[in-house]
Amino acid sequence: MKSIARDSLALLAQERVRVDLVAPDEIGRRTPPVELPLLLQLKMAAESKGSERGASGARRSGLPVDLVAMELLAGIGRGLHVDAVDLGARDELSSEDLFEDALALLAVVGSVDPGILASRAVVWRGWVVQIQAYLSPERRTPVPGVCPAEGCGQAEWFSYDEDGDMVSAPALMALWEGDRVDAVMCSCCFAVWPRGQLWELGQALGQGLDWRTLARPE
């Protein structure tokens, strides 16, 4: 759980070098793209969509997209600050700050009690998945099997719904672009297998990732 907690906080608050998006034969010749922290991406999306579309812009869940993003951002911000104070990463008199709270938590992950960390890691990972789903609402279908990424080995991931109830889903999900699968991602460790690596992933899972598997409904 320590690695899941650390990876989740890092994705929320730190830039990520996407080596996984560079083809094997281009490694060393092409600079990998850098992905902005998810919290910054969500903040930018909320501000840009709000200014471009306003209250009459595109809608999701019956609300203007900027309001949905702002509510998600505010909820995560409150949660991060409470966690940072409770786990001793920040002083209780400190003001709420998305990145300071997340980075402070990242700095103390190694010293948090394993039992407490296990429960918080589920929540932090859930925030990552929520932000990713908001920013890229592509079609997703489950892929059965255990994640073969080193140090993961999970078949399911757990999170909490809006009512606070624990929910679970397959760890591996196929991400679609149009009518074809663009990649497979693990919701536990956030490993990504681009389209060009799906055959190797299928071999690791011991099954063929054909259209019947990837098109299985959620």
Predicted confidence (pLDDT) per residue in 154-209, tens digit: 999 887 766 667 778 889 988 887 667 888 989 888 888 888 888 888 888 876 66
**Number of structural domains found in the chain:** 2
Amino acid at 214: L
**pLDDT computed for residue 146 by the predictor:** 92
Contact residues for 173 (Cβ-Cβ < 8 A; gap 6+): 140, 141, 142, 143, 184, 185, 186, 187
Considering the domain architecture, whether residues 110 and 68 belong to the same structural domain is answered as yes
Assess whether 29 and 130 both reside in one domain.
yes
pTM of structure: 0.66
216 is in which domain, residue-wise? 138-218
Do 56 and 24 share a structural domain? yes
119 and 180 both lie in a single domain: no
Q: What is the pLDDT of residue 60?
A: 45
Clarify whether residues 36 and 115 are in a common domain.
yes
Mind listing the pLDDT tens digit for each residue in 16-68? 887 666 666 666 776 777 888 999 988 888 776 544 443 333 444 444 446 77
Q: Which of 116, 137, 158 is the last residue of a domain?
A: 137
Angle, helices 98-108 vs 2-13, to 10°: value is 150
Residue 108, pLDDT > 80, answer yes
Query: CA 160 to CA 32: how far, in whole Å?
Result: 34
Q: Looking at the predicted structure, is the pLDDT value of residue 131 above 60? A: yes
Q: What is the mean pLDDT of residues 87-99?
A: 94
In the prediction, which pLDDT does 55 show?
Answer: 36
Q: Are 145 and 208 members of one domain?
A: yes
Tokens 């990876």 locate to: 7
Question: 124 with 202, same domain?
Answer: no
User: Looking at residue 166, what is its pLDDT?
Assistant: 77
Of 99, 117, 137, the residue that ends a domain is: 137
Average pLDDT over residues 76-87: 96
- In terms of domains, do 131 and 58 share one? yes
> In the predicted model, what is the mean pLDDT of residues 86-98?
94
Same domain, 131 and 146: no
Q: How many angstroms separate the Cα of 210 from the Cα of each of 116, 148, 174, 199, 207?
A: 40, 18, 11, 9, 9
Distance CA 201, CA 199 (A): 5
